[in-house]
Structure 1
């Protein structure tokens, strides 16, 4: 009887333990609740690279240039600088030759009037200018402004120029073709950003 009693007790204990061991364990992934779906991380916006043309430019000038670009989506600083260099050469050479037509196309009324007055005085004296633009050493942003819809950008041009003035007989009365001089000019170009015409006009000249 004692043996039977012990066997019954062992069965009741071991049997329950075995039944418990046979029950499948509840897995952490068997939950009825679906795991929360986290939104994919949105990459931080990458700022566009800063144009090399803005190196060394004052913050106020840079802000004005960005305002001009915002008002005129077609504005491109690098293209503007290349165009300004070409205009600098064309305007100087037109003035030296007395080419009024080219000056009319590239200058506003006030600057054009100033060039024409100088050409008229030179021709009245029988003088001619035999100048040569040797090279443009540097073009630097000087100032910029967006006034309403009118954009104005001033550039400092540093150039080497061989300047010679001749009298009516062709004699050199000033300058020398052998010695180029450094010229420093601040030219301001303007354009209405709402205009269809993409060309900028020279509207002010000054010494740098």
Structure 2
């Protein structure tokens, strides 16, 4: 089965940070020991991103200390949840969301985010267009993605994922002149995105509800 995660953003804050190309921040998977009863599933989305259905990490690369107790709560509440697949899906969504925003692809963003959050993205894109700025950004690599926190409250699960990524960015003016950045020098970025899902819902999709710097 192919799994994908659908996320929605905290509008103004995330849009502003994406518009800033994430370039002012700096940064490069931990498997939680699972019992037989703790086998886990991954969220999905209506479009296809190729993600291996049986990704299994050994060791502790995609879960950081302190997140295990919360993840066990998520697993107890949703026996189909899979840590490794969730992390892989979050990485795919991270790339899709960034690229859609950089391109000003509001149709894709409309699918990926909620209405109020989409308004924030739309405003940021409108401001960028009004200034005549064009972003030529590239996600060079996601060096690491790890779950740093998890919890379940009132049947709503929240999982925070830290992304250490390398991003090359260039901003051009309306005449095509480079006014900021460089595609030859990638910037180290460290983000923490928090995803949430109502476990009572039949909708398997997770939404991004908060972002922060690592």
Relative to the length of structure 1, the TM-score reads 0.71
Output one character per residue of 1:55-93: Cα deviation in whole Å (capped at 9) or x when no partner.
66334x211111111111211111100100000000000
> How many Å separate the matches in 1 of 2:108 and 2:98?
10
The structure richer in helix per residue is 1
Which is bigger in relative contact order (C-alpha 8 A, separation at least 6)? 2
Q: Does the C-alpha gap of structure 1 residues 171 and 65 become closer, same or farther in structure 2, counting only changes over 3 Å? A: same
Which structure is larger by alpha-carbon Rg, 1 or 2? 1
Aligned match for 1:105, one of 98, 111, 114? 111
Does 2:54 match 1:58? no
Name the CA shift for 1:191/1:47 in 2 (closer, same or farther; >3 Å): closer
RMSD: 2.2
CA separation in 2, counterparts of 1:203 and 1:117?
18
SS in 2 for 1:173: strand
Q: Specify the alignment match of 2:142 in structure 1.
A: 136
In 2, the alpha carbon distance for the partners of 1:155 and 1:195 equals: 22
Residue 182 of structure 1: aligned partner: 188
Could you tell me which runs of 5 or more consecutive residues in structure 1 were left unpaired when the two chains were aligned. Answer: 1-45
Paired residue total: 162
2:185 counterpart SS class: coil
For residues 31-110 of structure 1, what are the structure 2 equivalents within 5 Å? 47-48=35-36, 52=58, 54=60, 57-59=64-66, 61-110=67-116
Shift of 1:197: 1.7
Deviation string 1:13-44 (CA, Å, 9 cap, x unpaired) is xxxxxxxxxxxxxxxxxxxxxxxxxxxxxxxx
Which residue of structure 2 lines up, in the alignment, with residue 203 of structure 1?
209
1:170 maps to which residue?
176
Partner of 1:38: none
Displacement of 1:47: 4.5
Contact 1:111 1:202 in 2 (8 A): no
| Deviation of the 1:194 alpha carbon | 1.7
CA–CA separation in structure 1 for the residues paired with 2:163 and 2:141: 11
